[in-house]
Amino acid sequence: MKFLNAMFLYFFVGGATTGDRMRRIGILVLIAIIAMIINVQALEYEEKPHISVSMVGSNQLSKGEEKTIILTVFNDAKRVKVEYKDEIEAGFFKNEGMLFTAYNLTLELIGNEKIKVETPAQKLPALPSMSPVTLQYIIKVADNITPGEYDLVLRISYEKIEKLKRLEIFPVQSFPEQFTTTLSRKVTDVYFMNATITNTTVYEYRFLTKEYKLEYTEEVEEVPLTFTVKEEDVKLKILNVTSDKLIGGGKGRIEVEFMNSGEKVAKDAYITLETPSGFEASALSISQPSVSTIPAMSGISGVPGVGMGGIGIGSVGMGSLGMGMPGMAPTPTSLSQAQAAYYIGDLKPGERSKAVFYVKVNVKDGGTYPLKIKAVYIDESGDLKESEAIPFGIEVKSAPEVVVKNVESKVFANAKGEVKVTLACTADLQDASVILQANPPILVLSSEYYLGDIKKGEERIAIFKVKASSEAKAVPYPAQLKLKYKTMDEYSETNPVRIGIQVNPKLEFEIEGKPVISAGTSKVVEFAIKNVGSYEVKDATARLTVVDPFSSTDDTAYIGDLKPGESATIKFRLKADSEATPKLYALNLEVKYKDPEGEWVISEPVKATIEVTPETTSYTPLAIAGIIVLVIIAALAYRRLRK
């Protein structure tokens, strides 16, 4: 056997030059023909795999508690001494870590009648030495457990390598590991004329495993874990939580049902509610403790209105933190959480009770938010104490939002109009109304439109009266729309959404006709006026602005009602000055009318064109004067003849 060992060391491990390799090749071929089968005896090594367990965190438990315990599992095996049968076995276990590894682990935490283990057995394929693993187990403590120490057992089964039972290897193979080139010459051979170049290749001979079989032994360990169930003076256990459908920005009611799972009576107790930032809590007690039963104390955290003079109790029970008790100054606090208190009186061990709180949700985002309750009470010694705060969660839906489907505008510049908005909401709302806000040149005349109760996704129409100033352009102007709705005894508002209110062009009129008037004359001029707008005007009157060289005794003309596209004739009496320059003149004409809202509106001026012609010479007066002279001469002649 020693001979074989020497052969293996020579052929499999040793390096060789090119010349040596040629000399050994024959022997290697013979060895390669036969596959080697080695039967190995049990190997010996110290400090075999062994499992140790430690607990992370406290081992304290409470009645009725469900707790996750964390265990660290550690394989403390280490290499001290290993004895191999031969070099082949040593080569197989070249990675000695496999000897000190525990395999196929099953770790089961076993409970008892009072402490139940809810996590099933956990399995690990391997646990190397010095590589700890963390495991978690959930345990449930009974409500009626007696305070004291309790042992749970962690049962660990695993396997470790006992021996290499069988090993079959392939023929030895060589692998080039290093190649070097050497140049040699004599000192006198300056020009390397007779230099010698030697190439050397170093080979490593290895055996490859074809088949092997390991024998394992199973180990079972039981590790005791000691837990202490502490005695609770007063401890709250939450049994049920019910709440209204809380939504962001709203207000709702929360009812918490709980029991005293502790060992002592909580006298004159009240329940405080702690809420996160963005929540405001209040409560109304159904009964009150006697002031004389509450000692004067201070320094108890979370106790509303506790001061050096004791606790003040009002006629409506406890108030909210930061407001203090009736008749007492508020106690300064650095807490960022709001608290409210609900009085329940005496609470015996195992007894159930309820507390009702009202919560204002000032956050907009939906989700589950954490709250806590605890009891503040008088113990059997007359001292004021508080229990551990117990957390629970409430579901809050996202704040409702306005979804604008359509905006229809019948608003004209310099006139009142109507804006019709089709909208929906993302949640059910009660007693809701829509509020419209805008800035100049848009004036909102009716800013709130009542909707009543609306359902999620239901489309509703809101109508608003607005007015656009005379400076308004024919463009859409921004406005804001939001919903106002009732939550319990107060109103909340959604975030505003932006909409556009389109201002339509001003109503326009067209003038047709070009009357002619001579300088120095007076006459009635006529025009045709046409409504080229989009709505009917009523009780319209046209007014002509008369300027030099014109004057008028009648510069207004009644039109009446005029629908879109209709025309009417209007007449004015004008006199042109005798010195008026003959040419075309344009006078401003305005129309005063009632819009569809019944409001008086004055239109933008339009131009009325009038042509002035030169003054004409009239012979009629001269003819009349001549006739008069002739009549006088004839009369005088007739009188002379009669004489």
Given pLDDT bands bounded at 50, 70 and 90, which one contains residue 603? Answer: confident
Same-domain status, 248 and 392: yes
- Specify if 242 maps to a domain: yes
Given pLDDT bands bounded at 50, 70 and 90, which one contains residue 11? Answer: very low
Whole-number pLDDT of residue 205: 66
Tell me how far apart the alpha carbons of residues 391 and 389 are, in angstroms, rounded to a whole number: 7
Segment 219-226 shows an average pLDDT of 93
Same-domain status, 57 and 135: yes
329 vs 410: which has the higher pLDDT? 410
Whole-number pLDDT of residue 80: 66
Whole-number pLDDT of residue 618: 57
Segment 411-422 shows an average pLDDT of 89
In the listed set 396, 415, 436, which residue is the last one of a domain according to the structure? 396
Between 2-11, 142-151, 309-318, 435-444, the lowest mean confidence (pLDDT) is in: 309-318
Tell me how far apart the alpha carbons of residues 412 and 506 are, in angstroms, rounded to a whole number: 6
Output the average pLDDT for the chain. Answer: 81
- Specify if 142 maps to a domain: yes
Give which of 210, 200, 201, 205 is closest to 27, Cα–Cα.
205
Segment 634-643 shows an average pLDDT of 76
pLDDT in tens, 548-598: 999 998 899 999 999 999 999 999 999 999 889 999 999 999 999 988 878
- Specify if 317 maps to a domain: yes
Whole-number pLDDT of residue 240: 95
In the listed set 481, 503, 525, which residue is the last one of a domain according to the structure? 503
- Specify if 437 maps to a domain: yes
Whole-number pLDDT of residue 422: 96
640 vs 497: which has the higher pLDDT? 497
| Residue range(s) defining the domain that contains residue 358 | 236-396
CATH number at residue 591: 2.60.40.10
228 vs 639: which has the higher pLDDT? 228
In the listed set 396, 420, 437, which residue is the last one of a domain according to the structure? 396
CA distances for 562 relative to 99, 129, 512, 555, 599, angstroms: 108, 102, 16, 20, 16
Burial class (CB within 10 angstroms; exposed 0-12, middle 13-18, buried 19+) of 161: buried
Same-domain status, 214 and 261: no
Q: Is the pLDDT of residue 246 over 70?
A: yes
Segment 603-612 shows an average pLDDT of 92
Whole-number pLDDT of residue 43: 58
Same-domain status, 313 and 441: no
Tell me how far apart the alpha carbons of residues 120 and 107 are, in angstroms, rounded to a whole number: 9
Contact 399, 249 (CB under 8 A): yes
Q: Is the pLDDT of residue 371 over 90?
A: yes
Contact 499, 482 (CB under 8 A): no
Segment 157-165 shows an average pLDDT of 84
Tell me how far apart the alpha carbons of residues 447 and 553 are, in angstroms, rounded to a whole number: 47
Given pLDDT bands bounded at 50, 70 and 90, which one contains residue 436? Answer: very high
- Specify if 619 maps to a domain: no
Same-domain status, 91 and 224: yes
Q: How many domains does the chain have?
A: 5
Same-domain status, 413 and 491: yes
What share of the chain has pLDDT > 90, as a percent?
50
Whole-number pLDDT of residue 353: 95
Q: Is the pLDDT of residue 427 over 70?
A: yes
Same-domain status, 566 and 437: no
Same-domain status, 266 and 388: yes
Whole-number pLDDT of residue 571: 93
Tell me how far apart the alpha carbons of residues 311 and 303 are, in angstroms, rounded to a whole number: 9
- Specify if 635 maps to a domain: no
- Specify if 240 maps to a domain: yes
CATH number at residue 476: 2.60.40.770
Whole-number pLDDT of residue 490: 86
pLDDT in tens, 49-90: 889 999 999 899 988 889 999 999 999 887 766 766 666 666
Contact 610, 584 (CB under 8 A): yes
Same-domain status, 464 and 537: no
Segment 157-173 shows an average pLDDT of 78
Q: What is the pTM of this model?
A: 0.51
Tell me how far apart the alpha carbons of residues 140 and 125 are, in angstroms, rounded to a whole number: 28
Same-domain status, 280 and 224: no
